Amino acid sequence: MNIDIQELVRNLRQEGHFLRKRITKRNILKALREKRAIYKYDAKTGMVYAFCMLWPTKDPDMFESGTFWVAPSFRGNGHGEEVFLKCLALLPKGAGVFLITREIGVLELARNHGWQLEKSSWTKSEFWRRRAEPWDRVRPGVHSNGILMFLMP
């Protein structure tokens, strides 16, 4: 692997909407080893410009599609959709997946690929409370404008 993981970590942490405490070199390397993450990169520089990672949950058959990112200068060129779909292809057979986003582009991408929208606030969603690890939960009211979407097997 000829990518600069530390630069990827820095870039991901600069995005205000990710849970920064879980964006670590160790977590990314583990996800890559376990085939729960995918990326696109510049072979000359090693710079990752598109990334998506599946986070495990308490339920072994459910994953969070989190840390989906495209470098600003590469957005709008189809890299996000390509990485997103390749990331979903990493799901174990029969596994479900959900995501939480406030990004309109991600919302549209997911809906265009058959994702279902949770009707209630994600902070009050029974689906979320049953599956999220306690450290991934955000106090209600802090980021309640996120949108919970899920795609079931």
Cβ contact 66:20 at 8 Å = no
Residue of higher predicted confidence among 104 and 118: 104
Question: CA-CA distance, 110 to 66, in Å (whole number)?
Answer: 13
Instruction: Compute the distance between CA of residue 127 and CA of residue 39 in angstroms, rounded to an integer.
Output: 28
Q: From CA 24, how far away is CA 15, in angstroms rounded? A: 14
Q: Which amino acid is at 34?
A: E
pTM of the model: 0.80
pLDDT at 58: 82
**Res 128: pLDDT:** 60
In this predicted model, what pLDDT tens digit does every residue of 19-47 receive, in sequence order? 777 889 999 999 999 999 999 999 888 88
**pLDDT bucket at 114, cuts 50 / 70 / 90:** confident
DSSP H helical ranges for 22-69: 25-33
pLDDT digits (tens, 9 = 90+) for 59-81: 888 888 888 999 999 988 999 99
Residue 152 predicted with pLDDT over 50: yes
Interatomic CA distance for residues 99 and 88, integer angstroms = 11
3-state secondary structure 81-102: HHHHHHHHCCCCCCCEEEEEEC
Report the chain's mean pLDDT, rounded to a whole number: 80
